[in-house]
Structure 1
Amino acid sequence: MTVKKSPSSSVMLSWMPVAAMAVVAFVDITAGPDVGLLPLVSLGPAFAGLVGGWRRTAVIGLVATLLCVGLGLYNGLFDRPRGFTAMASVAGVTGVGIAAAVMRSRREAELASVRSIAEAAQRVLLRPVPLTAGPLHAAVSYTSALAEARIGGDLYEVVASPHGVRVIVGDVQGKGLAAVETAARVLGAFREAAYDEKDLVKLGERLERSVARELEDEKFVTAILAEIGYDHQVVLLNYGHPAPMIVHPDGSADFPDPPSYALPLGLAAHGGPGPEPFPVPFTPGDQLLLYTDGVTEARDEDGGFYPLAERADLLRDSDVHRALDALREDLVRHAAGPHHDDAAMLLLRYQGHGGGQEAAGPA
């Protein structure tokens, strides 16, 4: 989620150097030479160096120099050092402003390059999920906690395997590039195992081994696996992840909890029971929303958590993508500011049999 300047603020910033010089010139002419405002003409190139390119800064600096000469002659300041001091001030600030503009342009070019790399990484890591998979229609939304990032530690995938539609939504402990690297490894292992393993528990065990080999310092990944066939039920396997929300056609919502809570992926060495698969009714018209804790832990201005259960009616739109967009927009309004954690949502609607190969990316 990137913050953009509004057109009005951009116009105001672009005119700030001219306005600053105009105000200084007006006050200097009105108040007379004794006030000593002439050096403040350098505010023009100073502001230009902060908001414009080096060429524009140079032009503003030239205008400031001519204005300084004109005001100095008008006030008769060049028969004493004061006028030349003002000229030196304008020239020095213009030079610094040009240097600052050049450095800023280079940083912006580097940032644009990093953004393009991040977008390419997103297409590889969080590739678009299929619009339809078996009897399901799917939509996905992802919001990164980092303002300039497009990806983070949350992960999702939908695979139409020979054993049914298999889904994963997970949340890597931590943030930044290390979390992205871990998410990539989990998704790579899932994409391969989803086709190979007939049993959902075996798929989970394979993910556990893969994560345990890679993670250090007791880091972990919470995740939930789901398998949907044509028997009107979804089988869930929960590794310490928030319970999914199932929304029924009448608008009611359930949050099916596992029979027993298992440790997240990567912590099996600490002992404890593994996750137990449990089936939940999932019939045509039902919707399954898998999400990360960045959704339910988003706080409003008063510190209140996002009431996901009370927002189930936002998913009533006949188009699954518009439905999820409505929920995401409501979440953004509730948060009233930047997210402090990544927030991923994957919506699956049981709509009938299908086998389309189109794909949907994150909203």
Structure 2
Amino acid sequence: MAIPLALIAAITVADLLTPREIQLSPLLVTAPAITASFAGPWLTGLVSVITVVDGLLVSAHSDLLGTRTMQTQLAALIVVSVFLVIFSFVRDRHQEELTRVRSVSEAAQRALLRPLPAGLGPFRLASMYLAAEQEAQIGGDLYAAARTPSGARVVIGDVRGKGLPSVSDAALLLGAFREAARRHATLPDVVDHLDESVRADLEEHAEEFAEACENFITAAVLDIPDDRPVVEVIDCGHPPPLLLRDHEVMTLQVAQPAPPLGLGDLTEPGYHVETFDFKPGDTLLLYTDGVIEARGPTGVFYPLVERVLTWPGDGPATLVEHVRDDLLAYVGGRLGDDAAMVAIQRLRE
């Protein structure tokens, strides 16, 4: 408020000190205009009233109040001030509506992509999500974890496409996983349930979306038992997990990858489970292709394996923070695609 009030004072003093034929009072309109850029309608109206009253006093002091020129200038000042107050009122209404919409959107996004628990039995977990869309917290990438009587089950996936349709598909898969992770005894049954859910949804919306038949979701589904130092993986066209052990990185490349979810009818029935060592102290890093396909200024893909080697090795939370900060620095602060990561560490006995 100091700036518009100082402008009124400065213009008034300058107008009084200049010859009568030089009129600076039309410049007073800058005060309510500046106020409207940051203040609400009440303050804008107050400054407008002060400006009009000041214009009247200056005109009366110069004996110009009865001239048509001054009357026209004052009328223009009043009209502009009224429009500035209206503009400020409408802008504030829109801002309040936008704030409400954003709060609802953020609540919905948090409910959809729930934060992973810090611990599941003998495992510590951490997750990270970077949405490419501005003002968004999630997109087409997804992850979830569930506790079972014998261990933990984790899924990470990436929906083909972007925007709101991909968020809808991600919500469908997350709901199906949370239901199937506790209901089905074996990992192939879980993945089969996920594939059927995705296919059923695509068939249901086939007439609504012409490209529905082309949609699919890449995913990696893991079963980590408590009593055995292994991890079971079914990879449905997803980037392979990384295993970090004693400052070394190994890629858990499955020998028989399955097709992406939604395309299960294109292959023979049944899913092949790959088993890898997952010993106490080991850490798994799951990620989506938004991480490894992020390009730096030179156009080179982000070298995830090389960058993970620089991690000092202090818990899964520091791992995802390390990769997140390094990834954003590599791409210059802005990703072209959503990126998600989940780190899982088996605690030492």
TM-score bracket, shorter-length normalisation: 0.7 to 0.9
Q: Please report how far the alpha carbon of residue 290 of structure 1 lies from its aligned counterpart in structure 2 after TM superposition.
A: 1.0
Correspondence for 1:63 among 41, 45, 50:
50
Higher RCO, 1 or 2 (CA under 8 Å, sep at least 6)? 1
Is the 1:163–1:198 Cα contact (8 Å) retained in structure 2? Answer: no
1:242 is the counterpart of 2:229 = no
Stretches of structure 1 lacking an aligned partner (at least 5 in a row): 1-13, 354-363
Is the 2:291–2:327 Cα contact (8 Å) retained in structure 1? Answer: yes
- CA distance in structure 2 between the aligned counterparts of 1:307 and 1:16, rounded to whole angstroms: 51
Q: Which residue of 2 aligns with 1:167?
A: 154
- Structure-1-length-normalised TM-score: 0.82
Correspondence for 1:82 among 69, 74, 83:
69
Q: Please report how far the alpha carbon of residue 150 of structure 1 lies from its aligned counterpart in structure 2 after TM superposition.
A: 2.5
Q: Which residue of 1 aligns with 2:197?
A: 210
Q: Please report how far the alpha carbon of residue 58 of structure 1 lies from its aligned counterpart in structure 2 after TM superposition.
A: 1.2
Q: Please report how far the alpha carbon of residue 246 of structure 1 lies from its aligned counterpart in structure 2 after TM superposition.
A: 1.8
Deviation readout 1:86-109 (Å, 9 max, x if unpaired): 222322222222222222222222
- CA distance in structure 2 between the aligned counterparts of 1:126 and 1:22, rounded to whole angstroms: 55
Q: Which residue of 1 aligns with 2:131?
A: 144
Secondary structure in structure 2 of the residue aligned to 1:289: strand
Secondary structure in structure 2 of the residue aligned to 1:280: strand
- Structure-2-length-normalised TM-score: 0.85
Assess, with a 3 A threshold, how the Cα gap between structure 1 residues 43 and 302 changes in structure 2: closer, same or farther.
farther
Is the 1:54–1:101 Cα contact (8 Å) retained in structure 2? Answer: yes
- CA distance in structure 1 between the aligned counterparts of 2:260 and 2:22, rounded to whole angstroms: 71
- CA distance in structure 2 between the aligned counterparts of 1:348 and 1:265, rounded to whole angstroms: 23
2:242 maps to a residue whose letter is M
Correspondence for 2:304 among 305, 308, 318:
308
Correspondence for 2:325 among 313, 325, 329:
329
Assess, with a 3 A threshold, how the Cα gap between structure 1 residues 282 and 52 changes in structure 2: closer, same or farther.
same
- CA distance in structure 1 between the aligned counterparts of 2:110 and 2:49, rounded to whole angstroms: 47
Is the 1:50–1:100 Cα contact (8 Å) retained in structure 2? Answer: no
Q: Which residue of 1 aligns with 2:112?
A: 125
- CA distance in structure 2 between the aligned counterparts of 1:34 and 1:264, rounded to whole angstroms: 81
Q: Please report how far the alpha carbon of residue 342 of structure 1 lies from its aligned counterpart in structure 2 after TM superposition.
A: 2.0
- CA distance in structure 2 between the aligned counterparts of 1:214 and 1:182, rounded to whole angstroms: 9
Is the 1:118–1:151 Cα contact (8 Å) retained in structure 2? Answer: no
Assess, with a 3 A threshold, how the Cα gap between structure 1 residues 263 and 73 changes in structure 2: closer, same or farther.
farther
Which of the pair has more CA radius of gyration? Answer: 2
Q: Which residue of 2 aligns with 1:232?
A: 229
- CA distance in structure 2 between the aligned counterparts of 1:25 and 1:302, rounded to whole angstroms: 57
- CA distance in structure 2 between the aligned counterparts of 1:241 and 1:352, rounded to whole angstroms: 29
1:344 is the counterpart of 2:340 = yes
2:233 maps to a residue whose letter is L
- CA distance in structure 1 between the aligned counterparts of 2:85 and 2:127, rounded to whole angstroms: 45
Is the 2:123–2:345 Cα contact (8 Å) retained in structure 1? Answer: yes
Q: Please report how far the alpha carbon of residue 225 of structure 1 lies from its aligned counterpart in structure 2 after TM superposition.
A: 0.8
Secondary structure in structure 1 of the residue aligned to 2:37: helix
- CA distance in structure 1 between the aligned counterparts of 2:236 and 2:64, rounded to whole angstroms: 78
- CA distance in structure 1 between the aligned counterparts of 2:13 and 2:85, rounded to whole angstroms: 26
The aligned runs of 1:100-115 (5 Å cut-off) are: 100-115=87-102
- CA distance in structure 1 between the aligned counterparts of 2:301 and 2:23, rounded to whole angstroms: 57
Q: Please report how far the alpha carbon of residue 22 of structure 1 lies from its aligned counterpart in structure 2 after TM superposition.
A: 6.3
Aligned residues: 339
Q: Please report how far the alpha carbon of residue 289 of structure 1 lies from its aligned counterpart in structure 2 after TM superposition.
A: 1.1
Correspondence for 1:153 among 140, 145, 150:
140
Q: Please report how far the alpha carbon of residue 320 of structure 1 lies from its aligned counterpart in structure 2 after TM superposition.
A: 2.9
Is the 1:262–1:272 Cα contact (8 Å) retained in structure 2? Answer: no
Assess, with a 3 A threshold, how the Cα gap between structure 1 residues 191 and 71 changes in structure 2: closer, same or farther.
same
Is the 1:224–1:236 Cα contact (8 Å) retained in structure 2? Answer: yes
Q: Which residue of 1 aligns with 2:168?
A: 181
Stretches of structure 2 lacking an aligned partner (at least 5 in a row): 207-211
Q: Between the two proteins, what is the percent identity of the paired residues?
A: 35
1:287 is the counterpart of 2:283 = yes
Assess, with a 3 A threshold, how the Cα gap between structure 1 residues 57 and 288 changes in structure 2: closer, same or farther.
same
- CA distance in structure 2 between the aligned counterparts of 1:151 and 1:16, rounded to whole angstroms: 41
